[in-house]
């Protein structure tokens, strides 16, 4: 089970800003460090291990270093999904936008059961393009736009924006230190 912290930074008018500590892992250590599971309804970490998560609908999103996935298909039993609305600002996204979006579910294997990989060799998850790589600074920069996410129970939609990947609440930095803001769409 993870020890990664999920902390509410602010909660104003239904928009939550969270800090998620998904620092554990790093190159060559991914297999021995668990995912951090998040319930969007509560904004809290779900305390389950990676194996139990494969049969649990209690989590919506999961974080491990630069990987983010939703609870669907190969990732878990949920009815989750996610899509990037790259031309929509956070404040402009509506429930109609979320329902109209072509949501990605987790598909990790091809027809021959070979794992699908992203450009970096990591597992190809639905949030594979949440960031851009800045070669000048060697940093991950959140992609422009707003994500829409369907909850694992399939009943709720959220808009979500990645704000930062490095800054911890105490001001120090480490990759895998997510700041994101989100709100339920009604």
H helix intervals, the chain: 50-53, 95-100
158 close to 67: Cβ distance less than 8 angstroms: no
Residue 15's H or E segment, with its range, is strand 15-21
Widest pairwise Cα distance in the chain: 48
**pLDDT at 29 (0 to 100):** 60
Does the pTM of the predicted model rise above 0.85?
A: yes
Q: What residue ranges do the domains of the chain occupy?
A: 6-185
Give tens-digit pLDDT for 1-52: 788 899 999 999 999 999 999 988 655 565 668 899 999 999 999 999 999 9
Burial class from Cβ neighbours inside 10 Å (0-12, 13-18, 19+) for residue 139 reads middle
107 close to 170: Cβ distance less than 8 angstroms: no
**pLDDT at 3 (0 to 100):** 82
Give tens-digit pLDDT for 44-96: 999 999 999 999 999 999 999 999 999 999 999 999 999 999 999 999 999 99
| Lowest mean per-residue pLDDT among 25-34, 118-127, 162-171 | 25-34
**pLDDT at 16 (0 to 100):** 98
What is the DSSP secondary-structure string of 20-33? EE--S--TTTGGGS
| CA–CA dist 169, 145 (Å, integer) | 24
């Amino acid at each position: 089970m993870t020890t990664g912290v999920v902390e509410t930074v602010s909660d104003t008018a239904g928009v939550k800003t969270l800090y998620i500590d998904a620092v554990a892992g790093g190159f060559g250590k991914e297999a021995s460090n668990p995912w951090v599971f998040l319930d969007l309804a509560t904004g809290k970490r779900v305390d389950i291990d990676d194996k139990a998560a494969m049969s649990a609908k209690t989590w919506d999103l999961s974080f491990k270093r630069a990987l983010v996935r939703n609870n669907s298909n190969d990732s878990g039993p949920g009815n989750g999904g996610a899509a990037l609305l790259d031309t929509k600002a956070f404040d402009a996204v509506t429930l109609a936008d979320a329902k109209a979006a072509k949501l990605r579910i987790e598909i990790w294997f091809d027809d021959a059961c070979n794992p699908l990989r992203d450009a970096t060799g990591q597992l190809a998850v639905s949030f594979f393009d949440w960031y851009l790589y800045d070669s000048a600074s060697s940093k991950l920069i959140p992609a422009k736009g707003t994500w829409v996410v369907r909850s694992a129970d399939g009943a709720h939609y959220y808009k979500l924006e990645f704000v930062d990947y490095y800054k911890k609440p105490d001001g120090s930095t480490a990759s895998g230190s997510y700041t994101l803001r989100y709100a339920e769409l009604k």
